[in-house]
């Protein structure tokens, strides 16, 4: 399964030390140039910059979309990611930003965010969700507390079956 990622899911998974989950969940993660640049900006946490600058792992491919849809009312990285996901017919787009997610859904894309990725990994027994959510809370992620609570409750129910 090939997916396209926006900046934030990669950013937060790297900060939590679980970025390799993506290789376990997906065949390949494709990122557009602006996302790659955003991972290396000076205000980006050092762990993320180092990850991006040290050579992308084999499961990550850098690719620019051939056409941009300027009617999308999102930032450049999200626009590139949405256009690229449509172009390569990605199974999903990994994105957290509310406006970006809404635009991706309007374009007919399947959207998964950081929390959804972590839930999928927990369901496969790859991580303990409460532990990683606690790490995520230590980052600068702006997460809906209700979303986290619901994810943790679903995980608790799944584990108690």
pLDDT tens-digit profile of 72-112? 999 999 999 999 999 999 999 999 999 999 999 999 999 99
* 56: pLDDT strictly greater than 90: yes
Q: Residue 118 pLDDT > 90, yes or no? A: yes
Q: Which two structure tokens, joined as six digits, stand for 33? A: 């140039």
DSSP β-bridge partners for residue 33: none
Phi, psi of 62 (to 5 degrees): -95, 125
Please tell me the predicted confidence (pLDDT) of residue 142: 84
pTM, to two decimals:
0.94
For the cut 90, the answer to whether the pLDDT of residue 143 exceeds it is no
Give the strand order in the sheet containing 60-62: 60-62, 28-31, 2-5, 92-94, 111-112
Contacts of 105 (CB under 8 A, 6+ apart): 111
Domains present along the chain, CATH in parentheses:
2-114 (3.40.50.1010)
Angle between helical axes of 129-137 and 7-15 (0-180°, round to 10): 100
Distance from C-alpha of 139 to C-alpha of 11, rounded to nearest angstrom? 10
Q: Are 130 and 112 in contact (CB under 8 A)?
A: no
What is the model's pLDDT at position 140? Answer: 86
Is pLDDT of 52 > 90? yes
Per DSSP bridges, beta strands 92-94 and 111-112 are parallel
């Amino acid at each position: 399964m090939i997916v396209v990622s926006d900046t934030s899911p990669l950013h937060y998974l790297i900060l939590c030390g679980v970025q390799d989950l993506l290789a376990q969940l997906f065949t390949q993660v494709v990122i557009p140039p602006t996302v790659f640049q955003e991972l290396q900006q000076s205000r980006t946490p050092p762990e993320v910059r180092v990850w991006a600058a040290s050579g992308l792992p084999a499961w990550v491919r850098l690719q620019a979309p051939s056409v941009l849809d300027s009617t999308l009312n999102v930032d450049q990285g999200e626009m590139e990611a949405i256009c690229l996901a449509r172009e390569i017919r990605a199974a999903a787009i990994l994105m957290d930003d509310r406006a970006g997610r809404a635009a991706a859904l309007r374009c007919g894309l399947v959207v998964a965010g950081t929390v959804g990725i972590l839930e999928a990994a927990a369901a496969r027994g790859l991580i303990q969700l409460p532990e990683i959510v606690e790490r995520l809370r230590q980052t600068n992620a702006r997460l809906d507390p209700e979303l986290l609570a619901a994810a943790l409750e679903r995980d608790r129910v799944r584990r108690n079956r």
